[in-house]
Amino acid sequence: MVVPDTGGELAFVLGRLEEVLLALQPFEAEDAPAPPDLGREALVAVEDLVMAVLEAERLPAVELVAPDGEFRLVPLRLVRLGEQQVVVATALAAVGRALLPGGDAWVAEVLSDMRRDGEDVAELVASAARGHGLLDLAEDDDTRLLAGLLAGREGSLVLDVTAYGAYRRVTERALAMFHLNDPLARFVYRG
């Protein structure tokens, strides 16, 4: 999957979900099992997803340049995904249900304990869902074109008009999903 570089934010929000799932796992044999859909399989799937993102982020990014040869674009990362997406989506749904009336009180308590600096619990879940959503955007001709251009390449790459159009469409989807069309993020992506 081709995703714009998030400066570590994507790994961070998915790592927070990993922390929640880890806190729900039994530590002793007599401990209660994790709630449905939030057990070991979900934890391993989220760990795999975080590792795939970290692996992509640790490699040097290709410096992308607009067709004018001047404007430096936000780099794209190639994230190698396995089959964990469905398991992660199910875990996210289970975590989100805990915030609803009648939801799992233990999961809601763990989420509340995971808050940082007055963070809203719903935002913790929503940010992880946006991170997963960014990685779950449907592959299309644009992502395939860009992945082909980036695979195995180092250094800088001036995009032609076709590739630049693909870049703009892919980053538009990312802006809508991960950054909620934030004006500052839009400026960073578009100049």
153-179 per-position pLDDT tens digit? 999 999 999 999 999 999 999 999 999
Concatenated DSSP letters of 54-106: HHHHHSPPPEEE-TTS-PBPPPEEE----STHHHHHHHHHHHHHTTSTT--HH
Burial letters 81-113, b for 16+ CB under 10 A, else e: beebeebbbbbbebbbbbbeeebbeebbebbee
Average pLDDT, the chain: 94
What distance in Å separates the CA atoms of residue 114 and residue 15, rounded to the nearest whole number? 12
Q: CB 134: neighbour CB atoms within 10 A?
A: 24
Residue 83 has pLDDT above 90, yes or no: no
Query: Is the separation of the CB atoms in 185 and 179 below 8 Å?
Result: yes
Using alpha carbons, list the distances in angstroms from residue 32 to 58, 90, 142: 37, 20, 46
Under 8 Å between Cβ of 110 and 24: yes
CB 57 within 8 A of CB 15: no
- Taking only the tens place, the pLDDT of each residue in 107-162 is 999 999 999 888 899 999 999 999 999 999 999 999 999 999 999 999 999 999 99
Residues β-bridged to residue 63? 156
CB 10 within 8 A of CB 131: yes
Q: How far is CA 95 from CA 12, 20, 36, 106, 111, in A?
A: 17, 9, 10, 10, 8
Percent of residues, the chain, with pLDDT higher than 90: 88
Question: Minimal CA–CA distance to 24: which of 116, 120, 91, 122?
Answer: 91
- Res. 191 pLDDT band, cuts 50 70 90: low
Residue 159: both structure tokens together: 């995009």
Q: What's the pLDDT score for residue 113?
A: 93
User: What gap in Å lies between CA 186 and CA 191, rounded to an integer?
Assistant: 8
Count the Cβ atoms, other than its own, within 10 Å of residue 61: 15
pLDDT value for 52 = 96
